[in-house]
């Protein structure tokens, strides 16, 4: 991994294919920075060093209902398998604004879907590589949607180490960034892997987790994680974990918020960022947003959250989450709304969570 060059050198190198002394690897990195990525490194594909830990994690049931992780486990164990003939990976990171204020929705999900944003940029990078090499190179970009252990590749490409909260942490950028990987049928000179582990004796992330989902350093039980409960879980949220959710309606940033590397290096989003909070979310506290979602129709939801990662939970899931939030941070003024939802909502799961919230507010 190389540090981002200044913007002038990015432009010169990316625009001038004949720059004296510029290797293909240097051009790829310069182009990646020119496309707006914040970190870039190159790794040679092969058996994943974390494969055994991944298998153990699955065997313990820590993935919960995320059955797709088990279905793709065989390919995840070796990064050469997802793309036939692929030999190298260009691994990128894109900051999503850890310096933005905390709120009821995790920072990554407030704007446009990162899958779409990063995928377009990786396609551009792939096309540029084809032009430089003079032929179509077999390859594919992955952004959290295929059988690839992106963290494993990122560490191998020199982008950072695995923190005790399981996030990849970079010593100059913290952990508030997305990862993507462009797998290519090319032999590229790899970067040195990131061998150091710089968490030391710090356990702030483990201590701060509201639901104690971090069982030990580097081991997350997704079934207790608020991000899983509010996004991936399709059924009822366990009653024992609802109060700990507090005002967190979609996702959770707590283990990142307390990390000293983020306290020091988190950045605010630039103007016009694709990840800036959209109108339906901007400036709203947990109670206001929960009320909005509980009163929202499917048509209103589709309009407000078109192209948003929050659509993954669907409206029924967000209403379920909103009911829990009102049960935790609501007031007597919310009882009327909850009663109407209880009487009119067609989804039994939502009504059950509303009943729980009513019992809390009345009690």
Q: Is 144 known to be catalytic?
A: yes
Judged against a pLDDT cut of 50, whether residue 77 lies above it is answered with yes
pLDDT at 105: 98
Tens digit of each residue's pLDDT (9 = 90 or more) over 273-294: 999 999 999 999 999 999 999 9
Of 116, 144, 192, 333, the active-site residue reads: 144
Mean of per-residue pLDDT scores for the chain: 94
pLDDT for 20 equals 52
Residue 2 has pLDDT above 90, yes or no: no
pLDDT of 238:
98
Q: Which residue has the higher pLDDT, 71 or 335?
A: 335
195 phi and psi angles, rounded to 5 deg = -90, -25
Confidence of residue 9 (pLDDT cuts 50, 70, 90): very low
Question: How much is the pTM?
Answer: 0.93
CB 42 within 8 A of CB 90: yes
């Amino acid at each position: 991994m190389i540090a981002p060059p200044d913007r002038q050198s990015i432009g010169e190198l990316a625009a001038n294919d004949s720059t004296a002394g510029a290797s293909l690897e240097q051009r790829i990195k310069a182009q990646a920075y020119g496309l707006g990525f914040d970190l870039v490194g190159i790794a040679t594909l092969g058996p994943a060093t974390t494969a055994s830990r991944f298998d153990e994690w699955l065997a313990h049931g820590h993935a919960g209902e995320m059955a797709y992780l088990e279905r793709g486990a065989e390919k995840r164990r070796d990064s050469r398998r997802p793309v036939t003939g692929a030999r190298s990976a260009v691994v990128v990171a894109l900051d999503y604004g850890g310096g933005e204020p905390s709120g009821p929705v995790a920072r990554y999900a407030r704007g446009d879907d990162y899958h779409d944003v990063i995928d377009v940029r990786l396609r551009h990078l792939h096309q540029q590589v084809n032009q430089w090499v003079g032929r179509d190179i077999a390859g594919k970009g992955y952004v959290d949607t295929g059988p690839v252990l992106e963290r494993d590749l990122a560490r191998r490409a020199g982008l950072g180490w695995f923190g005790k909260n399981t996030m990849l942490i970079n010593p100059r950028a913290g952990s508030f960034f997305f990862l993507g990987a462009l797998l290519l049928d090319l032999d590229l000179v790899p970067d040195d892997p990131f061998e150091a582990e710089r968490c030391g004796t710090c356990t702030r992330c483990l201590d701060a987790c509201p639901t104690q989902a971090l069982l030990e350093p580097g081991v997350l039980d997704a079934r207790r994680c608020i991000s899983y409960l509010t996004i991936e879980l399709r059924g009822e949220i366990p009653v024992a974990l609802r109060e700990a959710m507090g005002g967190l309606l979609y996702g959770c940033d707590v283990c990142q918020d307390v990390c000293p590397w983020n306290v020091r290096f988190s950045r605010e989003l630039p103007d016009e960022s694709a990840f800036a909070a959209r109108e339906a979310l901007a400036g709203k506290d947990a109670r206001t947003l929960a009320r909005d979602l509980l009163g929202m129709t499917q048509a209103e939801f589709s309009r407000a959250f078109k192209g948003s990662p929050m659509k993954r939970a669907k409206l029924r899931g967000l209403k379920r989450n909103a009911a829990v939030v009102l049960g935790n941070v609501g007031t007597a003024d919310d009882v009327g709304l909850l009663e109407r939802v209880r009487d009119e909502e067609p989804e039994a799961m939502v009504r059950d969570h509303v009943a729980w919230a009513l019992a809390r507010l009345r009690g």
